Structure 1
Amino acid sequence: MKILLSQFLEQHHLSIRQAAIMTGVPRSTIGDIVTGRVSPTLATMEQLAAGLKTTISNLYESEYK
């Protein structure tokens, strides 16, 4: 599964800093997820989805949506 966080942020005109403020996830963590350096935990994806007011499935590319 591909993480679509960078596309989501771009579509909603959000910076990594803004996303960090909205979600409580550190800027460095979001940056690492966006660049593909780390694979986020489910807890982190839940926190991102809640703060960005979306579902986790909107942050992943999957054939099972």
Structure 2
Amino acid sequence: MKLEILIKEYRLKKDLSIRDLEKISKINRSVISRIENNKTYYPNIYTVCKLATALKISLNDLVKY
């Protein structure tokens, strides 16, 4: 599964809005939205790590495919 789909899926499973994830991860909600909607190139590893930590999942869960 693609990264953007996984991020959105995990966010929704945890009942978080993009604004909630922004507060937890300290990543701007427009960046999160662009990632989830595949409007940006693959984000850098730092951003992916921050999102994984905020979602309380392992980095491997997001990048294993």
Q: Name the TM-score, length of structure 1 as normaliser.
A: 0.82
Instruction: Report 1 or 2 for greater relative contact order, CA contacts < 8 Å, sequence distance ≥ 6.
Output: 1
Point out 4+ residue stretches in structure 1 off by more than 3 angstroms: none
Richer in helix (by share): 2
| Partner Cα separation in structure 2 for residue 35 and residue 61 of structure 1 | 20
Query: What RMSD in Å do the two structures reach over aligned CA positions?
Result: 1.5
Structure 1, unaligned stretches of length 5 or more? none
Contact 1:2/1:61 (<8 A) preserved = no
Q: How many residues align?
A: 62
Query: Greater strand share, 1 or 2?
Result: 1
Consecutive unaligned residues in structure 2, runs of 5 or more: none
Q: Deviation string for 1:5-55 (max 9, x for gaps)? A: 011111111111000101001100000000011121111001111222211
